[in-house]
Structure 1
Amino acid sequence: MKTIIHKADTRGYADHGWLKSHHTFSFSSYQNPERNNFGMLRVLNDDLVQPKMGFGTHPHQNMEIISIPLKGALSHKDSMGNKRAIEVGEVQVMSAGTGLTHSEFNDSKTDEVNFLQLWIIPEEMSVEPNYEQREFPIEGRNNKLQTIIAPKDKLEGDALPISQQAYIYRTNLEADNSLNLNLKSKDNGLYIFVVDGNVEVDGNLLNKRDAIGVYDTENIQIKSNDNSELVIVEVPMN
């Protein structure tokens, strides 16, 4: 088993006033040649958007983009005709493929929006763009894995589809609980991001917003010391 640890305070940080963003991997003005990706996981941004502010219309191409709101609601509008809010408990996925444009805005006059944005490199280029959004009930991840993203040819339950052999799971572990994960493929790795709480992975202690990448293994155990919330990404390593 091989591991790589990214502590919360080692992430890149950008303060644009209207947006405060922590970058796990190289992004925009934060460029770290040692942290360009974890396998096919290219971006994991922890964004805080101020009230009545947002991202203007901008393009994407050939990337799988997943948004997970943690606090507040983010209004979405795109070139495919979708116009709706993404709220806590929901997950949004966009397969940018041949190209699309979109904007995201915090309509609240008083409350910040905090959301995670993940980019996964697709396995096939120039697919037809796709947008989907779904609510995932919290009871579906209490002390167990909830699959929110899966390959479009191997969908599980209510998981949203992407064009890559990758999976994203959420779990809320109560204190003193543990979870065993079996990887889908020996060629995959797991990237475990602690949204909140305190967990141990392979003897490594991780706190809020810390992360660990694990690969060259077939399974891993996660033990929760406190009530903890995790986002886990399983991706091909090459």
Structure 2
Amino acid sequence: MKTILHKADSRGHANHGWLNSYHSFSFANYYNPERMNFGALRVLNDDTVSAGRGFGTHPHSNMEIISIPLEGDLKHMDNMGNATVIKNGDIQIMSAGTGVEHSEYNNNKDSLVKFLQIWIFPNVKNVTPRYDQISLKDIHTKNKLYQILSPNPEDQGVWIHQDAWFYLGDFEQGTSETYTLKKQGNGAYIFVLDGELDVDGTVLESRDGFGIWDADSFTVSSRTNARFLVMEVPMDF
């Protein structure tokens, strides 16, 4: 088993006033050659956007882009004709493919919006762009990992063009579960939303990230009530 620990305070940070963003991997003006990606996981941004502010229309191509709101309401508009609002308890996926333009704004005028934006390198390029979002409330499971993303359109959660699986955990203190990786050659990156975890003897605190590869499985135990995200991705792609 190989591992890497990214403490919360080691992340890149950019505060633009209206946007306060922490980067687990190199992004924009934050460049760290040792933190370019974790396998196919290219971007993990932890963003807070001021009331009524946001990202104007901008392009993407050949990337799988996942947004997970943690607080507040995020308005999305794109040139595919989508105009939606995603909120805590939702997940959004956009396959940029041959090219898409979109904007993201805080839909509220009097409160913050907080969300994770995650980019995954796809396993096929120049696909027709697509968009989807679902509510996770119907599949939320306490004290057990539950799947929110996979490569398979028929599976629970959203799907992307990559052999990747995402799970959310909402564990009460003292809960443990062993996660078995689904595909040989994949690794997993655990990101703690809040609380404390023990992952095979390594203690993780809020907003820490922990990568594991060259392993078949690992065990997650909650030292406190904890919420966290497990992202299984190919290490070679």
Whether TM exceeds 0.5 here: the answer is yes
Equivalence map 1:54-73=2 (5 Å): 54-73=54-73
Distance 2:81 2:88 in 1: 22
Assess if the C-alpha contact under 8 Å between 1:188 and 1:235 holds in 2: yes
Equivalence map 1:1-238=2 (5 Å): 1-137=1-137, 140-152=140-152, 155-157=154-156, 159-238=157-236
Distance 1:185 1:52 in 2: 42
Number of residue-to-residue matches in the alignment:
236
Deviation at 1:138?
6.9
Is there any run of 5+ residues in structure 2 with no aligned partner, and where?
none
Deviation at 1:148?
1.0
Is there any run of 5+ residues in structure 1 with no aligned partner, and where?
none
Deviation at 1:104?
0.5
RMSD: 1.0
| Amino acid across the alignment from 2:116 | L
| Amino acid across the alignment from 2:214 | D
Assess if the C-alpha contact under 8 Å between 2:139 and 2:146 holds in 1: no
TM-score between the two structures when normalised by the length of structure 2? 0.97
Question: Can you list the C-alpha shifts for 1:52-105, whole angstroms capped at 9, x where unaligned?
Answer: 100000000000000000000001100100001001100000000000000001
Distance 1:141 1:127 in 2: 33
Deviation at 1:219?
0.6
Distance 2:213 2:152 in 1: 23
TM-score between the two structures when normalised by the length of structure 1? 0.97
* CA distance 1:226–1:139, change in 2 (3 Å): farther
Counterpart of 1:141 in 2: which secondary structure?
coil
Deviation at 1:156?
1.9
Assess if the C-alpha contact under 8 Å between 1:199 and 1:226 holds in 2: yes
Assess if the C-alpha contact under 8 Å between 2:21 and 2:46 holds in 1: yes
Q: Percent identity?
A: 50
Counterpart of 1:9 in 2: which secondary structure?
helix
| Amino acid across the alignment from 1:193 | F
| Amino acid across the alignment from 1:216 | D
| Amino acid across the alignment from 1:156 | D
Counterpart of 2:140 in 1: which secondary structure?
helix
* CA distance 1:67–1:162, change in 2 (3 Å): same
Assess if the C-alpha contact under 8 Å between 1:89 and 1:138 holds in 2: no
Deviation at 1:220?
0.5
Distance 1:16 1:45 in 2: 14
Counterpart of 1:34 in 2: which secondary structure?
coil
Counterpart of 2:218 in 1: which secondary structure?
strand
Assess if the C-alpha contact under 8 Å between 2:64 and 2:95 holds in 1: yes
Counterpart of 2:9 in 1: which secondary structure?
helix
Give 4+ residue runs of structure 1 displaced > 4 Å after superposition.
none
Assess if the C-alpha contact under 8 Å between 1:62 and 1:126 holds in 2: yes
Distance 1:220 1:141 in 2: 20
